[in-house]
Structure 1
Amino acid sequence: MHATANWRPLALGFRPFFLLGGLAAFVLILLWLGTWHRAFSAAAYYGRVEWHAHEMLFGYTVAVVAGFLLTAVRNWTGRQTPHGWALGFLALLWLAGRLLPWIPGVPGGLTAAVDLAFLPALAISLLPALRGVENRANYLLPVILLGMALANGLMHLQALGVAGTARLGMQWMMDLVLLLLLLIAGRVMPFFIRVAVQGADPRTRPWVERGTFVFALVLMAAHLGGLHPEITAVLFLVLAFLQAVRLAGWYHPGVWRIPILWILVTGYAWLTLSLLLRALADAGLVALSPAEHAFTAGAIGVSTLGMMARVTLGHTGRPMVPPRPMTWAFVLVNLAALVRVAGPLLYPSGYVFWILVAGIFWLTAFVIFLYHYTPMLLQARVDGRPG
């Protein structure tokens, strides 16, 4: 009876979705490594490369986004977000989208419909908590989620053989995740650093904040409009400069004494570097894949692991100090991104080797996360409060 009473997997959004996200991070990369060594075949519905891109963006990344927003919106507005059976339904809907492509005989239209339903359902589920709030920036969240659903639709159009739009869908999704990371980082990073680092006084420059979102939106429009890569290279370069200035304003050397903080700082550094590399790639100076993986494995991978670790501690009533082995997980996820990006740039002929090494680092990082955080995600808060 006591064990059952302490079981809280559906009490708040971060619980099921961070657990599913951690499992997805492990299983999806394990399967991806297997496809390189013919141990597995990717789900035929998408095609091998498209499956990897789709599942890391619309599977793993979206799971973490869902867990974060379902938790943060309740925190920001003081209003309840889905929990209990409603939250369980959302989690099962996400899971169905991951599993259906692997089941023989399932019509492609059904696979697409189920997977496409999740993001609109998530957006709609947040509306009651967002209605009438003073901070109008919160209204951008459902809009971004619906934009992600449209990007997902572009990938499914190609999977269904309707149109060759998977590449545009991937790019649009990365643009929207970039916008979301820019929004969330601007909201939480200065606060996190100010309260955790003695003597820190993070600076926010209005011209950098305005320029960040103007250029991020212009970049999205440029991709949708199919503008020449030389134009997007300039936009990426300006955005990289703005993020370097933004990060420099927040930075304090004291962050390196706090693992739960430096993991987020390194995640934002990866975001900045990814914008610079993408500018170089669009200018034809470096390959596109390492530039994109600086964003996906680096900015997304590092930032999401850090946020899952932090949010889980805070919302289970624990001190903001992760289990000591998590420091190794933070190091390993950064090493995974570094190997995945730098290896192919410096020694392209070792491409498959670099993928294997980066994958092993990534898998080890998430094994550490799952081992230490699964009990926290499933059990009641240690302080007895609801959530």
Structure 2
Amino acid sequence: MQMNTESSLVSSPIFAYGFRPFFLLAAIYAPLALLPWVGALLQLFTLPMPLPPIAWHGHEMLFGFVGAALAGFLLTAVPSWSGYEPVTGGRLLALVLIWLAGRVLFWLCAAVPPVLVAAVNLLFSLALLASVVPAFCSEGGRAHTSIGVGLAVYVVMQGIFYLSWLWPERLPGMTSIDVLNSTVNLLLVMIALTVSRIVRVVAMAARHESGLCGPFRLTVARERLAVFMLVLFAIADVFAPGHAVTGWIALAAAAAQADRISEWPWGRSMKRPYLLLLTLSYVWMMVGLVLVGITDLTALLPGYTGRHALSAGAVGTAVLAVLCIAGLRHTGRPLRLPRVIWIALAALVVTVILRTLVPMLWPEYYLLAGVALPFVFWLLAYLLYIVGYNHYLLSVRADGKPG
């Protein structure tokens, strides 16, 4: 009986590969994770919780929404890179159930022991790490160890968040918001590392579809410099947040990212939404780093300036890009994004513009134009993703291959 159940799970499309359930869950949860925070700010409703609403919101965005997207990506990309057996069937179902349990517990965190909430959520990240470590250790996966290290640090950051929440006296001088900002910085590093592996494929596809030919190269040294500067910024922002030195490093990191994408194919190739998504993620990364740099070097801008460009902008756009690109490639389909993704992309751009500029330039309109409207456009972006991709994620591969 147990073997038959396992067999049916393996043969079910939704549990045939890690990206299928987790991409769908990430898209569904993206707007849901905003509801308690938006409801509290607009004074519509409050969710009982033993931690500040902004910390709840930040956790669920970075370790709930992004955690699901990260799981879907790693459980799919790492086996593809390494040739290692992917996590499917019952093992994949177990990971999904742990993630869901973590979300339920965080919504009920005022009614259950906080230690249980933290333990279950951390269990998911540890289980994800354990699921991909063997692939990183295999002969084919060693070249991608840096991403495995990034995932390990991500798990550590989640543990530090729980320490700052449950036992703040053990982390003097570090708040949960500091931990969340550091987690965003870590995700920027992971995006940079991942883009190194993705952009060559999608750039070549974009050039081919645009009728361009000839050699296309990306300079490895430029890629490494861009990653190194992001790592340096992440470290500086931990030990010297708001310091002038951190500000200069942020500006240098922005320049390194601009240098990196200067080699990407521009012109007609940027009409391909899959390449445009990756590029916009980098544009928001540069904007956010420049704003953080100016904030650290001057007293002209509020301390949070630039953080939304890095989180909702760079991270949010990168997540949508991965969900779109991997959702096609790993279901055996050509890189032709559904037309609704253009609208989703536009909605996401509007979201980030409002979240970045309104609090800084028009604080008197913060609740309407800086909270309510961005939530509507964010909801629209991921709703359109679900509309465009649910059939791909829930049905068998178009080319008949397993996965």
What TM-score do the two structures reach when normalised by structure 2?
A: 0.89
Conserved 8 A contact 2:281-2:317: yes
The 5 A counterparts of 1:190-201 are 190-198=200-208, 199=212
Conserved 8 A contact 2:31-2:382: yes
Q: Which residue of 1 aligns with 2:44?
A: 39
Q: Which residue of 2 aligns with 1:322?
A: 337
Comparing 361-370 with 160-169, greater Cα deviation is found at 160-169
One-letter amino acid of the structure 1 residue matched with residue 317 of structure 2: V
1:358 aligns with 2:374: yes
Cα deviation, residue 13, structure 1: 0.7
Report the 3-state secondary structure (helix = DSSP H, G, I; strand = E; otherwise coil) of the residue aligned with 1:218.
helix
* Deviation >3 Å, runs of 4+: 3-7, 134-137, 161-165, 200-203
Cα deviation, residue 7, structure 1: 4.2
1:159 aligns with 2:157: no
Q: Which residue of 1 aligns with 2:388?
A: 372
Comparing 195-204 with 102-111, greater Cα deviation is found at 195-204
Cα deviation, residue 259, structure 1: 1.8
Q: Which residue of 2 aligns with 1:257?
A: 271
Deviations 1:68-89 (A, max 9, x none): 1111111111222211111111
Deviations 1:233-285 (A, max 9, x none): 11111000010111111131123321222122112211121111111122233
Of 26, 29, 33, which aligns to 1:28? 33
Cα deviation, residue 56, structure 1: 0.8
Of 288, 297, 305, which aligns to 1:274? 288
- Tell me: CA distance 1:4–1:85, structure 2 relative to 1, closer, same or farther (3 Å): closer
1:224 aligns with 2:234: no
Measured in 1, the distance between the counterparts of 2:154 and 2:279 equals: 25
Cα deviation, residue 300, structure 1: 1.1
Conserved 8 A contact 1:6-1:380: no
Of 298, 315, 322, which aligns to 1:300? 315
Cα deviation, residue 286, structure 1: 2.1
Unaligned regions of 5+ residues in structure 2, if any? 1-7
- Tell me: CA distance 1:249–1:384, structure 2 relative to 1, closer, same or farther (3 Å): same
The 5 A counterparts of 1:146-225 are 146-163=152-169, 164-198=174-208, 199=212, 202-225=216-239
Q: Which residue of 1 aligns with 2:5?
A: none
- C-alpha root-mean-square deviation of aligned residues, in Å? 2.2
Measured in 2, the distance between the counterparts of 1:207 and 1:382 equals: 38
What number of residue pairs does the alignment pair up? Answer: 385
Comparing 295-304 with 275-284, greater Cα deviation is found at 275-284
One-letter amino acid of the structure 2 residue matched with residue 21 of structure 1: A
1:105 aligns with 2:111: yes
Unaligned regions of 5+ residues in structure 1, if any? none
One-letter amino acid of the structure 1 residue matched with residue 145 of structure 2: Y
Conserved 8 A contact 1:267-1:302: yes
Cα deviation, residue 40, structure 1: 2.9
Q: Which residue of 2 aligns with 1:58?
A: 63
Of 150, 170, 192, which aligns to 1:144? 150
- Tell me: CA distance 1:251–1:31, structure 2 relative to 1, closer, same or farther (3 Å): farther
One-letter amino acid of the structure 1 residue matched with residue 260 of structure 2: R
Cα deviation, residue 351, structure 1: 1.0
One-letter amino acid of the structure 2 residue matched with residue 370 of structure 1: I
1:340 aligns with 2:355: yes
Identity within the alignment, %: 32
One-letter amino acid of the structure 1 residue matched with residue 160 of structure 2: L
One-letter amino acid of the structure 2 residue matched with residue 361 of structure 1: F
